[in-house]
Chains A and B, each alone.
Chain A
Amino acid sequence: MRVARLGARLLDGYAAMVLGYLFLPILVIVLYSFNKPAGKFNFVWKSFSLDAWADPFRYTALVDAMSLSLRVAAVSTLVATVFGALIALALSRYRFRGSGPVSLLLILPLTTPEVVLGSSLLSLFLDFDARTGFATVVIAHIMFSVSYVALTVRARLRGFDWTLEEAAMDLGATPFRVFRKVTLPLIAPGIAAAAMLAFALSLDDFVITLFTAGSKLTYPLYVYGARRAAFPPQINVLATAILVTSLLLLGATVVWQQRTLRQRTAGGLPLP
């Protein structure tokens, strides 16, 4: 038994080391947002400074890139969440002919390398002489987000009790009212989680965006270009800001989900 306990200790230690590996670059990103680099490139530690934090919007190109990224993420998340949630609803609510191919079509974009997705979209845009820019990036981001949203929401809807809708209808509710009062509140946490995932994916996407953005620069594209010209610590400041904001948002959704969970349990409604 002592051997087993030692083995378990070793296993825990190993897991902690892997977590450390996952964490290390994040630590470096945050740390280097406080660096005062010697030259244009924030790759070597020089001295501690709050300069970049005091002046995060110093480089207009960087700010423009970030604002473009946020706009692309907002629009694509909105559209992809609606499209994806509707597909998930159809797949888990109804049995219908063609649901198999639909599921396959959802998975395929996830098993296709990004460089293929990006280059094939560019081929299409070139064929139609479409000017690449904001619209084409949004189109691309919706495309890969729909799958993630649909699969995430569908996973959340597994085991959902659809007779609740029938009960509401039996009690005289109109279909729209049933959706608003019964279906939507129950599936909302799943949809919120999927929307956050879509937003994060859009904000982070580099490869597909590189192919579809033309001369426009999103935040990742700006960072990519920065390796040649200048890599100011403001890049790290914004990365840290994204990190902190996402953590706060994540915390808020967890609290919100637990509260709706409590309310639902208190109301005696079954959980999704």
Chain B
Amino acid sequence: MAGTAAGSERQNRLAPYLLIAPGILWLLVFFVVPLVALAQTSVATGDGPWWDGYARALGNYGTHFLRSFRYALTATLLALVLGYPLAYVIAFRAGRLKNLLLGLVILPFFTTFLVRTFAWKTILSDSGPAAWLLRQAHLLSESGRLLDTTLAVVGGLTYNFLPFMILPIYVSLEKIDRRLVEAAQDLYSTPLGAFRKVVLPLSLPGVFAGSLLTFIPATGDFINAELLGSPNQQMIGTVIQNQFLEVRDYPLAASLSFVFMAIITLGVMAYTRVLGTEDLG
């Protein structure tokens, strides 16, 4: 009996490793190893010095990097301004409508991202409804355009990643113990005071997760810039994609991709230090 007990003990110690093995191996082989391959590709410059790709990446595409981060940052802030109140209303004021409203928030996910962006192209086009409405209100001149502008690109980015902002904020608001808010009000705090001192601090983990989940995909996105913008709005994703798939200048493409990832990783680490929480999941 003692032998089998020891055997099952060993089995138990091994069990978690057996359970994670297939998935973790997959991630190692198809996530970690590719990053190594990318690094190798970036320095495989042939005759030139190994840093040639990096030199060209930083020298020629600085504006694209800066533009991507600027657009993504604006889109993230806009998504926060749009998303937080909606998440708040769903968590605290929706009552029985809560699940329905949550369903409406994730509804866009059920139509293809690309088709959705084409729909924006229709809405914002020169003969489309948005331009017509703004012209009627004399907010847009007769020759003024919505499509192919920075506004359209940032608006598209905001739109596409808004649910990623709303859902984590909603989750963190939902977790807040209602009695804390009541306690604050019992202690003669104004509704705004209770929000500022109780609800807002407790919802910061959601704001943190939501901003990352919005900012990261937004910086790398190139569909919105390509469909809703002009070449003046081109983002770094377009350059990487173009260098990899059309021009096939692999060292440059891989350098761009690697620099991009490095900046994002450093940014995320700095941001985590400031607003720190590890709980992204």
Residue A84 interfacial (CB < 8 Å)? yes
Nearest CB in chain B: distance from A42 CB, A: 8
B90 touches A15 (CB 8 A): yes
Nearest CB in chain B: distance from A157 CB, A: 12
A127 touches B37 (CB 8 A): yes
Nearest CB in chain B: distance from A126 CB, A: 7
B16 touches A29 (CB 8 A): no
Given contacts A119-B244, A207-B237, contact A235 B19 (CB under 8 A): no
Closest B residue, CB atoms, query A83 = B23
Q: How many residues on the A side are at the interface (Cβ–Cβ under 8 A)?
A: 88
Residue A139 interfacial (CB < 8 Å)? yes
Given contacts A90-B15, A115-B237, A227-B227, contact A203 B253 (CB under 8 A): no
A43 to B125, CA, bound (A): 8
- List A contacts of B125 (CB < 8 A): 43-44
0/1 interface trace, chain A 42-86, chain B, CB 8 Å (1 if under): 011000000000000000000000000000000000000011101
A25 touches B104 (CB 8 A): no
Say which residue of A11, A90, A109 sits within 8 Å of B19 (CB atoms).
A90
A119 touches B27 (CB 8 A): no
A143 touches B114 (CB 8 A): no
Nearest CB in chain A: distance from B222 CB, A: 7
Say which residue of A24, A87, A98, A243 sits within 8 Å of B110 (CB atoms).
A243
Stretch of A146-154, A184-192, A259-267 that contacts chain B:
A146-154
A114 to B216, CA, bound (A): 9
Nearest CB in chain B: distance from A134 CB, A: 15
Residue A124 interfacial (CB < 8 Å)? yes
0/1 interface trace, chain A 1-33, chain B, CB 8 Å (1 if under): 000100110011011001101111110110010
Stretch of B49-57, B81-89, B196-204 that contacts chain A:
B81-89
Given contacts A121-B34, A143-B27, contact A19 B101 (CB under 8 A): yes
A105 to B159, CA, bound (A): 29
Residue A217 interfacial (CB < 8 Å)? no
A111 to B4, CA, bound (A): 44
Residue A142 interfacial (CB < 8 Å)? yes
A199 to B104, CA, bound (A): 19
Residue A173 interfacial (CB < 8 Å)? no
Say which residue of A21, A124, A155, A247 sits within 8 Å of B34 (CB atoms).
A124
B37 touches A123 (CB 8 A): yes
Nearest CB in chain A: distance from B75 CB, A: 13
Say which residue of A8, A87, A139 sits within 8 Å of B20 (CB atoms).
A87
Residue B119 interfacial (CB < 8 Å)? yes
A240 to B28, CA, bound (A): 37
Most buried by A among B32, B107, B112, B162: B112
Given contacts A43-B122, A154-B281, contact A204 B109 (CB under 8 A): yes
Say which residue of A32, A44, A83, A109 sits within 8 Å of B119 (CB atoms).
A32
A210 touches B159 (CB 8 A): no
B220 touches A115 (CB 8 A): yes
Stretch of B58-66, B134-142, B176-184, B256-264 that contacts chain A:
B256-264
Residue B275 interfacial (CB < 8 Å)? no
Say which residue of A44, A89, A115 sits within 8 Å of B127 (CB atoms).
A44
A210 to B246, CA, bound (A): 12
Residue A108 interfacial (CB < 8 Å)? yes
Q: Show 12 A/B contacts (Cβ-Cβ < 8 Å), sorted by A.
A: A11-B93, A18-B162, A43-B118, A43-B125, A96-B17, A99-B16, A107-B280, A127-B41, A207-B237, A211-B241, A243-B111, A246-B110
Other A-B contacts than A18-B82, A114-B220, A123-B250, 19 sampled, CB-CB below 8 A, are A15-B89, A21-B159, A22-B107, A22-B108, A23-B108, A24-B123, A29-B119, A32-B119, A32-B122, A43-B118, A44-B128, A93-B16, A107-B280, A111-B216, A111-B264, A127-B37, A151-B281, A203-B112, A250-B110
B residues with CB within 8 A of A: 12-13, 15-17, 19-20, 22-24, 26-28, 30-35, 37-38, 40-41, 82-83, 85-86, 88-90, 93, 101, 103-105, 107-123, 125, 127-128, 159, 162-163, 191, 212-213, 216-217, 219-223, 227, 236-237, 240-241, 244-245, 250, 253-254, 257-258, 260-261, 264-265, 268, 280-281
